Structure 1
Amino acid sequence: MTSDQPAARFDELIHFPTRLRIMASLAAATEVEFGAIEEALGISTSLLSKQLTVLAEAGYLQREARRQPIGRPRTWLRLTGSGRRAYLGHVEALRELTAGVVTSDDPDRFSR
């Protein structure tokens, strides 16, 4: 592990499937518009809003409503520094957890 790589830490809050997908989507960009996440994940507005609130209350993401020249304001989402560190630490914990898992390449590994 390098000094700029977060320590492995399993995070129950992030691990919930919908929140993990949200965090992964946000980690891949600087910021993402609410509707783009909703469409990419194929979930309802209410479910997405609920999960975003959980992540925002944990300090993992920020929401910003921006006025548009035409139409309603749009909400933009971005990970906070602590959110990015928590997500990367969770991913590293999953890597460590699965490092010894039998793969299809060697199904008899543990039976020797």
Structure 2
Amino acid sequence: MFAEPNFDEAIHAPTRLRLCAMLRPLDRADFATIAASLDLSEATLSKTIRNLSDLGYVSTSKQASEGRSDARRTTTVQLTAAGRRAFDGHLAALRALAPQA
């Protein structure tokens, strides 16, 4: 997929970059799975998601947990179309900074 290079300072922060990279090939991912995969505390992941959500780069949804008998719900996270464009543009900008020899 071709993307116009656009260095995005909001995505470039390491935790945000790792989250976007994880979500990019997926439709969505479970909050707990993301936290475990990226080795992040729930507080750090929540803050990262909130920051990207404020930019319109990710969205979240809550649903009843199929694996639980209590009323707790699970949260899933996904990149929005704007988030995919921003991430792809950021990757293109990084590639432009370090062209292959």
1:26 is matched by which residue type in structure 2? Answer: L
Shift of 1:28: 1.8
Q: Give, in angstroms, the shift of residue 99 of structure 1.
A: 1.0
| 1:67-106 residue CA offsets vs partner (Å, 9 max, x unmatched) | 1242421000111000000000000100000116x7xxxx
CA distance in structure 2 between the partners assigned to 1:84 and 1:95 by the alignment: 16
Choose which of 14, 23, 27 in structure 2 pairs with 1:26. 23
Equivalent position to 2:36, from 30, 34, 39 = 39
- Find the aligned partners of 1:97 and 1:88 in 2 and give their Cα distance: 14
Residue 97 of structure 1: aligned partner: 97
Equivalent residue pairs, number: 98
Q: Secondary structure at the match of 1:77?
A: strand
Unaligned residue ranges in structure 2 (runs of 5+): none
**Rg comparison, structure with higher value:** 1
Select which of 56, 62, 65 maps to 1:65.
Answer: 62
| Moved beyond 4 Å, runs of 4+ | none
For 1:83, the equivalent position in structure 2 comes to 83
User: RCO higher in 1 or 2 (8 Å CA, sep ≥ 6)?
Assistant: 2
Q: Which amino acid aligns with 1:87?
A: F
What is the distance in 1 between the residues matched to 2:35 and 2:13?
Answer: 17
